[in-house]
Each structure stands twice: as structure tokens, then as C-alpha cells.
């Protein structure tokens, strides 16, 4: 099987990634339908829709609706609008609390919030789109596109908070607004802080970010880390705004105390009156309360300030615990395989103690696990067992890519023969000085050397040559029935080899005449070379004047 993308040869309508491409004729209705119908390229569609056939059926159902202007929740237009609203919420969660607390509720002069007026206008557009956008019913696992049910669902959800938090109340109530200490209207004061309700849309922001991270295929722990840091920053900023607002609200407006007489209000004692300086001091107070290091520059004296300080301290402890849990979860996910590997290594060490293995054997056993799993334990058979046969074959081919590139006889093989060979290869790892093949033993397999170096020795111990990456050996015993190994093969360093058994060898290689002939030719050359070297070495050993340590002398033989 190939990795090439399927190209359909049937005469079917091509779906473009961007909906405006295929619109013909270019009318408002056609453009609206193209943008607002379901698109398989949106993250929500990929999350909830199982197949292309399901998407097609959903598109047909949407096309038969009486109200053609209903927006599908999995449409490309809705995805872009949700992304745009995500940016708006990111800004609004900062500007709305700041402008309400530090500008609209200013205790020295009556000011107007002109920054958030465009945001309120955009929010009204969002309310309009929400009233005609379908939703996914998780209970019934279906998409609801009926107008009445859409509005009912929205009415039960965010409709009221969206409406109440999208008016510029400071402009509307301007004729009735008064400074604190001047018998201000309590109801007017409370109405002006209603836009604070907008922060209830934080869950919507979080959901939009989740799908955006999913769309760009970021790892989930990056999303968790980012959303946790964002929440921490918002909580600090919101409590800083409340730290400034509550004394003004309680002491000045409700208690009707003028700013000059309110000695318990910390903001009246500031040397500077700029908004930046006030915000910095409010943030400082909140940070010191969260970290439980103090109260800031001003010790709270009023009941409202004391309650807020206690609440901030409590939330600070909860935030630290929450961030610690998130950090540990992220760390645990990144080191899960390493932890499992360490558990296996502990079991191996316990095994060596139980069996009272000598230190040399214990060291080799631990070294094998280190080289085999490279500090990350995994159950390969369990992982591959859940995959389709095609995917398993592709993974096996990719895993043996280095072997295929190094072994010369594999380079010109047909794809199906190569795939058949790879499927029957079994991975083995040998440590330095381990005997892979012993001369004189019965052979029932051959080996392909993926990486490492091995030494070839005659039965009497004469070293003939070295084989490196891409070599193969042990094929002689498979060419002749009941043939014994004519040479020993010893690992010089760490060797990664792939073994193919006799029956698989005949099924995969023997049926390919050219490949079999090439292996047979090389095998005959090797047998002759081993026999000549063995005879020469025996004559050498029979000499009365031979030197005992000459057995280890290497012959200058060309590597093959």
C-alpha cells in the first residue's frame, strides 16, 4: 500500500477548503449558503462528525430547511466568527472591567466609557448570529437547526447575560449620574456595573481556544498550560479592579460619604491621580494578598475591603494549588513513558538480586534494557494490535527504513516483495561480545544488520572480517537443508539486527528468483572464503613454532 492521497475518479462536485471558491452564480443567497453550510474543514466538524458520508447527509438536511439563512454550527463562517469573538472576548475581559471601575465609577468627575462602545456593537451582532445559529445537542447527539428550538436553547443559556452586558449604560444613565457624596442614585450606580456580567462568557472563550488549538494540532498540555496562565492573569486583573471599585461603591455611594471625608478609602491617599498609577497600586494590593505577603500600601479598614482581602487570599491559595496540579499533570504526561521505564528497571534490579546474578551479568542485563527502550518504556505489541493491517504494514516499512536504505539487495526490489519481507522481520538487539551465530550449530534463520558491527570467525576462532550497517549473514544454512553454521558471528558493539526465519525466507525471498540467485552467489563466495581461511588456520596451528596469541591476529579481508 502507498501513502499517496486518494484521488477520486468519479464525477463528483469538488469541495473547496474555502467556501467562496465554488459559488456560482455569485448572489448573496448563494454566498450565504456556501459560507453557512457545514464544512468538514472546521474543528467542530472533525470532532463530532465520523465520516464524509455523515457530513454530506448533514449538508443535504441543511439545504432542505425552510429558513435557508440558518447558520450551521459547523460551518466555516461560524468558525471564523467564533475565532473573531474569541479575540473580542480576550480584549473585553480587560477593557470592560477597567473602564467600569477606573473611569465610569471615578469619584472625582463623571466620565464616559468610549473604548467599549465598538465592543458592545459587535456583541449585539453576536447576539443576532446566535439567534439563527444551530447547536449540537449532546444529549441526543444531533445537530438542531429548527429556529424555535435554537432561540429557546439560547434563551435558557447566555441570552440574558449577553443582552444585559452589551449596553453602554454610562451613556444611557448620564442625566441621572452623580458623584459620590452627592446623594447618588443607588440603582443608577448598580446599573452602570452590569457590563461586568460579560466575564461569564469566559467558558465560551475557553471552548473557542480548545477548538482553535485542536485545529492547528497543538498538543493538549500546551492548551491546558496556556488557559491556566490566562485564567490566572484575568483573576489578578479582575480582583485589582474590584479592589478599587468596592471602597468607592460601599463607602462613597452607598454610605454617601464624600471622597475628601473617606479616610478609610485607600485610593484617596494616593499621591498621583493618574489611571496607570491607581491600577498599579490595585494590582500590588491584590498580588500581596494572593501571595499572603501583606496588604499592600494600605491596611484594609472597611468591612468590604476586609472581606475582599480575605477572599483574595483564599483564592490565591486555590490558584497556587490549581497551578501546581496543572504543572504536575503536564510534567506527568511528558515523563509517563520514562516513569514506566524506571519501574521496569527497578523490577530488573530486583530480579538480579533474587537470582543472585554476578555483577558482570547484572550490568549486561541492565544495559540491554537501556539500549532496547532508550529510557522510554512502551508495549509495542499492544500498540500495534489496535491498528489496521495496512497501517501496521506502513509503520513496519517506515521502522525498517534505515535497514532498507543500507542493504544493497533491497534497493531494487518490487514494493510488494519488500513489504512481505519487512512484515516477517523480527527485531533483536545484541550487546558487545555477544554471540549471534555459533559455528557448527543448526541454522534456521538469517540476519540483516541494521546498525553496528559484527566479526566473522571460523570454527577454530580465526577472525575473517567485519560486517557493518546494511550487511546480512546466516543465509548459508537456509540455502541447504540440515546445513550447519560454517562460521561464528560475534557483536563488536551494540547491534540492531532483524531476523527472518526459514519458512518466511522461502515464502518471501526464495520466490523472487533474482534476489535468491544474488544471495546464493554471495553465500557460495562466503563458504569458499571461510573454508580456505579455516584450512590455512589449521595448518598454522599445526606448526610446532606457532605463537599462541596469534589466534587473534586479523586478516586483511575485504568487507562484504
CATH of the domain at 480: 2.60.120.10
Yes or no: say if 32 and 67 are a contact pair by the CB < 8 Å rule: no
Average pLDDT over the chain reads 79
For residues 445 and 501, the answer to whether their CB atoms sit within 8 Å is: yes
Tell me, what's the pLDDT at 353? 83
For residue 378, tell me if it sits in a domain: no
The mean pLDDT of 142-154, rounded to a whole number, is 91
Q: Report the domain count for the chain.
A: 2
Quick check: pTM over 0.75? no
pLDDT classification of 123: cutoffs 50, 70, 90: very high
Average pLDDT estimate for 314-331: 78
Residue 472 has pLDDT above 50, yes or no: yes
203-238 pLDDT per residue, tens = 999 999 998 888 887 877 788 888 888 988 998 899
Residue-number span of the structural domain to which 462 is assigned: 403-538
Q: What is the mean pLDDT of residues 134-150?
A: 88
Confidence label for 376 from pLDDT (cuts 50, 70 and 90): low
Q: How confident is the model at residue 93 (pLDDT cuts 50, 70, 90)?
A: very high
382-396 pLDDT, tens digit each: 666 677 777 777 777
* Residue 414, in any domain of the structure: yes
153 within a domain of the structure (yes/no) = yes
Q: What is the pLDDT of residue 336?
A: 64
Residue 22's pLDDT band (cuts 50, 70, 90):
low
Rounded CA-CA distance 430/475 in Å is 19
User: Is 421 contained in some domain?
Assistant: yes
Choosing from 193, 210, 227, the residue where a domain stops is: 210
Residue 415, sorted as left (phi over 0), alpha (psi -120 to 50) or beta, turns out to be alpha
Per-residue pLDDT at 11: 47
pLDDT at 159: 94
Residue 162 has pLDDT above 80, yes or no: yes
Crossing angle for the helix pair 359-373 and 336-354, to the nearest 10 degrees: 160
How far apart are the C-alpha atoms of 236 and 287, rounded to whole Å? 7
pLDDT higher than threshold 90 for residue 198:
yes
Query: 25: cis peptide before it, omega within 30°?
Result: yes
Domain end call among 175, 210, 245: 210
Q: Is residue 77 part of a domain?
A: yes
Final residue in a domain of this structure, among 147, 176, 210: 210
Measured between its terminal Cα atoms, the distance across the chain in Å is 32
pLDDT single digits (tens) 356-370:
888 888 888 888 877
Residues 19 and 76 sit within 8 Å (Cβ to Cβ): yes
Question: What is the per-residue pLDDT across 430-456, written as a single tens digit (0 to 9) for each?
Answer: 888 889 988 888 888 888 888 888 998
Q: Any idea which residue has 469566559 for its cell? A: 202
Whether residue 112 is contained in a domain is answered as yes
Residue 553 has pLDDT above 50, yes or no: no
Predicted local distance difference test score (pLDDT) of residue 382? 67
- pLDDT beyond 70 at 69: yes
Tens-place pLDDT, residues 108-121? 888 888 999 999 99
Each residue of 237-266: pLDDT tens digit? 998 888 888 888 876 677 677 766 666 676
Whether 377 is covered by a domain: the verdict is: no
In a domain, 219, yes or no: no
Amino acid at each position: 500500500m502507498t501513502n499517496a492521497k486518494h484521488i477520486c475518479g468519479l464525477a463528483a462536485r469538488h469541495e473547496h477548503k474555502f467556501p467562496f471558491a465554488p459559488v456560482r452564480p455569485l448572489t448573496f443567497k448563494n454566498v450565504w449558503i456556501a459560507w453557512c453550510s457545514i464544512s468538514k474543514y472546521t474543528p467542530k466538524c472533525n470532532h463530532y462528525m465520523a465520516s464524509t458520508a455523515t457530513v454530506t447527509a448533514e449538508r443535504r438536511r441543511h439545504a432542505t430547511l425552510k429558513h435557508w439563512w440558518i447558520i450551521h454550527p459547523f460551518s466555516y463562517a461560524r468558525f471564523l466568527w467564533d475565532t473573531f469573538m474569541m479575540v473580542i472576548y480576550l480584549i473585553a475581559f480587560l477593557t470592560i472591567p477597567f473602564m467600569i471601575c477606573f473611569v465610569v465609577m471615578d469619584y472625582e468627575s463623571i466620565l464616559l466609557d468610549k473604548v467599549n462602545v465598538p465592543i458592545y456593537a459587535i456583541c449585539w451582532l453576536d447576539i443576532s448570529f446566535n439567534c439563527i445559529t444551530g447547536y449540537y445537542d449532546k444529549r441526543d447527539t444531533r445537530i438542531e437547526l429548527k429556529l424555535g428550538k435554537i432561540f429557546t436553547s439560547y434563551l435558557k443559556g447566555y441570552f440574558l447575560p449577553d443582552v444585559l452586558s452589551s449596553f453602554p449604560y454610562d451613556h444611557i444613565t448620564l442625566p441621572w449620574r452623580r458623584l459620590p457624596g452627592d446623594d447618588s442614585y443607588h440603582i443608577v450606580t448598580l446599573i452602570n456595573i452590569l457590563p461586568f456580567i460579560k466575564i461569564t462568557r469566559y467558558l465560551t472563550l475557553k471552548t473557542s481556544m480548545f477548538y482553535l488549538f485542536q485545529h492547528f494540532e497543538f498538543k493538549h498540555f500546551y492548551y491546558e498550560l496556556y488557559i491556566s496562565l490566562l485564567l490566572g492573569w484575568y483573576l489578578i486583573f479582575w480582583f485589582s479592579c474590584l479592589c478599587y471599585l468596592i471602597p468607592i461603591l460601599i463607602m462613597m455611594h452607598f454610605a454617601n460619604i464624600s471622597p475628601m471625608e473617606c479616610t478609610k478609602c485607600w485610593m484617596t491617599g494616593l499621591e498621583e491621580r493618574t489611571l496607570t498609577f491607581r491600577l498599579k497600586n490595585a494590582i500590588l494590593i491584590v498580588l500581596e494578598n494572593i501571595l499572603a505577603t501583606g496588604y499592600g500600601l494600605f491596611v484594609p479598614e472597611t468591612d468590604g475591603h476586609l472581606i475582599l482581602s480575605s477572599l483574595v487570599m483564599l483564592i490565591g491559595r486555590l490558584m497556587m494549588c490549581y497551578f501546581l496540579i496543572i504543572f504536575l499533570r503536564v510534567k506527568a504526561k511528558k515523563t509517563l513513558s520514562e516513569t514506566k521505564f524506571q519501574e521496569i528497571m527497578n523490577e530488573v534490579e530486583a530480579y538480579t538480586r533474587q537470582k543472585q546474578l554476578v555483577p558482570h551479568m547484572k550490568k549486561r542485563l541492565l544495559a540491554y534494557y537501556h539500549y532496547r527502550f532508550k529510557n522510554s518504556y512502551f508495549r509495542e505489541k499492544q500498540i500495534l494490535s489496535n491498528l489496521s493491517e495496512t497501517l501496521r504494514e506502513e509503520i513496519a516499512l517506515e521502522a525498517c527504513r534505515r535497514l532498507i536504505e543500507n542493504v544493497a539487495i533491497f534497493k531494487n526490489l518490487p514494493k510488494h516483495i519488500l513489504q512481505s519481507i519487512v512484515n516477517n522481520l523480527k527485531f533483536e538487539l545484541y550487546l558487545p561480545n555477544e554471540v549471534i551465530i555459533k559455528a557448527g550449530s543448526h541454522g534456521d534463520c538469517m540476519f540483516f544488520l541494521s546498525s553496528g558491527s559484527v566479526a566473522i570467525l571460523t570454527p577454530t576462532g580465526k577472525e575473517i572480517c567485519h560486517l557493518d550497517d546494511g550487511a546480512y549473514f546466516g543465509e548459508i544454512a537456509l540455502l541447504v537443508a540440515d546445513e550447519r553454521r560454517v562460521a561464528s558471528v560475534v557483536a563488536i558493539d551494540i547491534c540492531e539486527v532483524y531476523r527472518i526465519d526459514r519458512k518466511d525466507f522461502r515464502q518471501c525471498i526464495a520466490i523472487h528468483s533474482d534476489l535468491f540467485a544474488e544471495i546464493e552467489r554471495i553465500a557460495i563466495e562466503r563458504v569458499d572464503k571461510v573454508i580456505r581461511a579455516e584450512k590455512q588456520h589449521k595448518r598454522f596451528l599445526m606448526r610446532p613454532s606457532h605463537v599462541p596469541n596469534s589466534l587473534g591476529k586479523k586478516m586483511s579481508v575485504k568487507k562484504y
